[in-house]
Amino acid sequence: MGKKTENRRQSETSEARGVSRRQIMQGLIGGAGAGLVLPGLAAAHPMHRHLLSGDTVAAAGAQAASADWQPSFFDDHQNQTIIVLAEIIVPGSTGAQVNRFIDTLVSVSAPEDQKKLIGSLSAFDHEAIAQHDQPFKDLSADQQVAILTAASTAQASGAGGGGRRRRRAVPAPGGAAPALTMRDHFEDIKGWVSGAYYSSEVGMKELGWTGQVAWDSYPGCEHPDQV
């Protein structure tokens, strides 16, 4: 059985086995406390705040598992784009219904967080069109990976930051914050994807979750296939 098929089956049957996303997050938070740490998720990212709310996680998990699910925030193009991006960033995201969980959480996020995520999705489309005359979701797998790899190693808008300096931030007039770069857009999307994936049952199992209510210590790891 392939990894993606196994992930999908685990995700689809988690509720039937009585394991809810809320229980999983309660176990994680119970072991890690307020210092919730997940691979690829920064503490300042809005996904981090969402995952600390049991009610929010429960509502988003239930909506994502709905048989008649429809996006409540993304349009069809945005939904397909986040599916493609998520699967490259964390393989197995499609089976874990990462796009659905993100859609629900973004719909109740602050307007500035919503605007930032839509801007990040649009940035990848603009880059794809500039290079290949097609939106990101319609590119070949190699083309998609090449754009994501370049973005993940580009210069961020803040001070410092390693990686290849593919695109520098340009200071905004009047002392405003520097313009966002492709690295910033990549990090924003990665935070949503990582938080959604690693708070799912299949993601938690990759981190060493055994079904217990809480761990004695946090079981962290890095996903071997992440961009």
At 81-130, the pLDDT tens digits run 999 999 999 999 999 999 999 999 999 999 999 999 999 999 999 999 99
| Residue 206 or 187, more confident | 187
**Residue 223 falls within a domain, yes or no?**
no
Q: Are 128 and 143 spatial neighbours (Cβ–Cβ below 8 Å)?
A: yes
Q: Are 25 and 201 spatial neighbours (Cβ–Cβ below 8 Å)?
A: no
Answer yes or no: is pLDDT of 4 > 60: no
pLDDT of residue 35: 53
pLDDT-derived band at 131, boundaries 50, 70, 90: very high
pLDDT of residue 187: 95
**3-class secondary structure, 41:** strand
pLDDT of residue 89: 96
**Residue 55 falls within a domain, yes or no?**
yes
Residue length of the chain: 227
Q: Are 50 and 36 spatial neighbours (Cβ–Cβ below 8 Å)?
A: no
**Residue 27 falls within a domain, yes or no?**
yes
Q: Which two three-digit tokens encode residue 196?
A: 């959604």
pLDDT of residue 3: 46
| Residue 215 or 185, more confident | 185
**Residue 224 falls within a domain, yes or no?**
no
| Residue 198 or 164, more confident | 198
Domain that holds residue 122: 3-206
Q: Are 88 and 227 spatial neighbours (Cβ–Cβ below 8 Å)?
A: yes
Amino acid at 139: L
**Residue 226 falls within a domain, yes or no?**
no
Residue 87: partners with Cβ closer than 8 Å, 6 or more residues away:
93, 94
Amino acid at 99: N
Q: Are 36 and 123 spatial neighbours (Cβ–Cβ below 8 Å)?
A: no
Q: Are 148 and 85 spatial neighbours (Cβ–Cβ below 8 Å)?
A: yes
Counting the structural domains of the chain, the total is: 1
User: Which residue matches tokens 């296939």?
Assistant: 225
**Residue 218 falls within a domain, yes or no?**
no
pLDDT of residue 162: 36
pLDDT of residue 202: 85
Runs of H (alpha helix) within 33-168: 46-51, 54-64, 76-89, 98-107, 111-132, 141-152
Q: Look up residue 74 and give its DSSP letter.
A: S
**3-class secondary structure, 108:** coil
**Residue 220 falls within a domain, yes or no?**
no
What's the alpha-carbon Rg for the chain, to the nearest Å? 17
Distance from C-alpha of 12 to C-alpha of 17, rounded to nearest angstrom = 10
